[in-house]
Amino acid sequence: MEINSTFFFADSKVVLGYIGNEQRRFYVSVSNRVRRIRQLSRPEQWHYVPTDRNPTDSGTRSIPATQLSTTAWLKGPLFISKPTFNLSEPKPHCLVDPESDSEIRPKIAAFASHCSPVWLEGHRFTRFSTWKTVRRAVARLIHISQSFHRSNTNDDCNGWHYCNRPFPVEALVQSVNIIVQSAQRDIYILEFSCLSENKELPKNSQLRKLDPFIDNEGLLRVGGRSRKATLDHSDIHPLILPGKHHVAVLLIKHHHQLIHHQARHFTEGAVRSAGFWIVGGKKPISRIIHCCVVCRKLCGPTQIQKMADLPRDCLSFEPPFTNVGLYVFGP
């Protein structure tokens, strides 16, 4: 006989599910058997036969030889010989209740983190209340990220660790750049894309008047007309900071304290001489000084004391020098 095609039948939907499975993993015993079955046959060759029509059932039970011809043992199940029977379109078999099946390994998902080399999101800085702490935190983060790339295994600074070493100055300088860049990218994302494509800034952009440019470190700086001045680079091209951003508030507070709580013009000057240009800076500076507890104490109006009643001796009509008093306080 020439055999054109071969099909397999099983009355267990669980087993058919195992054979057809492509998604889940099994424990060793089932896994070995399924692998063996799949080496010898293809999953699409497998089909379901109801238990009452499965001929192998007759082989496992005692049955008199006279009745054997009435069973499916010799000819197979009846539906196979019907002309309408068609196996050319096999149905995929799914796993039966995989979550409660003890032979199937529980699903464990591992997520790969993909970080494009960008900036920290600005909302992270709202957790900090001073410029000093945010700088130190970012410097610490830089140190930790660098410690993953160290090849020297004897160094204590490897991977995640609590570091007792003092901050290197470079890390603190770098942290300022990262913080400023994050704040700039938060607010001026449109300006960044325009400048990087050498396009004109939109007409309603707050930065249009500042003639901004992106420096070598990817930071937005004020352009202006003083390029030929013999001043420091940060004086000619200060870093742009959005006045609404929390980082700008921390920076203003920091410089306001450094100049011992002087008025708005001095605070603004201190921020500028530190190399920052705060866009729309007057309002936030005024607001911060208005809320500053020390300034409220120093600049608040003096309170007026309510005077006590004058003593009787001052008010009675008597000859001069009857009573003599001396004011200890006052001019």
Which positions touch Zn ion (CB under 5 A)? 157, 163, 261, 292, 294-295
What is the smallest separation between the CB atom of 264 and Zn ion, expressed in angstroms? 10
The smaller minimum CB distance to Zn ion, of residues 96 and 292, is found at: 292
What is the smallest separation between the CB atom of 133 and Zn ion, expressed in angstroms? 18
What is the smallest separation between the CB atom of 292 and Zn ion, expressed in angstroms? 3
If one counts every other C-beta atom within 10 angstroms of the C-beta of residue 33, the result is 14
Alpha helices (H) along the chain: 13-20, 28-40, 56-59, 131-147, 169-187, 189-196, 233-236, 246-258, 264-273, 282-291, 293-299, 312-315
What is the smallest separation between the CB atom of 289 and Zn ion, expressed in angstroms? 6
What is the smallest separation between the CB atom of 155 and Zn ion, expressed in angstroms? 8
The smaller minimum CB distance to Zn ion, of residues 134 and 252, is found at: 252
Using DSSP's 3-state secondary structure scheme, residue 115 falls into coil
The smaller minimum CB distance to Zn ion, of residues 68 and 294, is found at: 294
One-letter-per-residue 3-state SS of 81-95: HCCCCCCCCCCCCCC
Give the position of tokens 């494009």.
Answer: 116
Tokens of 220: 């937005």
46-48 and 8-10: which strand pairing? parallel
If one counts every other C-beta atom within 10 angstroms of the C-beta of residue 253, the result is 20
Going from the C-alpha of 136 to that of each of 60, 117, 139, 278, the distances in angstroms are 77, 21, 5, 22
Please give the span between the terminal C-alpha atoms of the chain, in angstroms, as a whole number.
133
The smaller minimum CB distance to Zn ion, of residues 87 and 294, is found at: 294
What is the smallest separation between the CB atom of 240 and Zn ion, expressed in angstroms? 25
**What is the Cα–Cα distance from 208 to 220, expressed in whole angstroms?**
12
The smaller minimum CB distance to Zn ion, of residues 163 and 229, is found at: 163
Give the CA-trace dihedral at 242, 265, 209, 181, to 10 degrees. -30
The smaller minimum CB distance to Zn ion, of residues 156 and 318, is found at: 156
What is the smallest separation between the CB atom of 146 and Zn ion, expressed in angstroms? 9
The smaller minimum CB distance to Zn ion, of residues 221 and 261, is found at: 261
The smaller minimum CB distance to Zn ion, of residues 171 and 195, is found at: 171
What is the smallest separation between the CB atom of 260 and Zn ion, expressed in angstroms? 8
What is the DSSP secondary-structure string of 244-301? TSHHHHHHHHHHHHHTTS--HHHHHHHHHHTTEEEET-HHHHHHHHHH-HHHHHHHSP
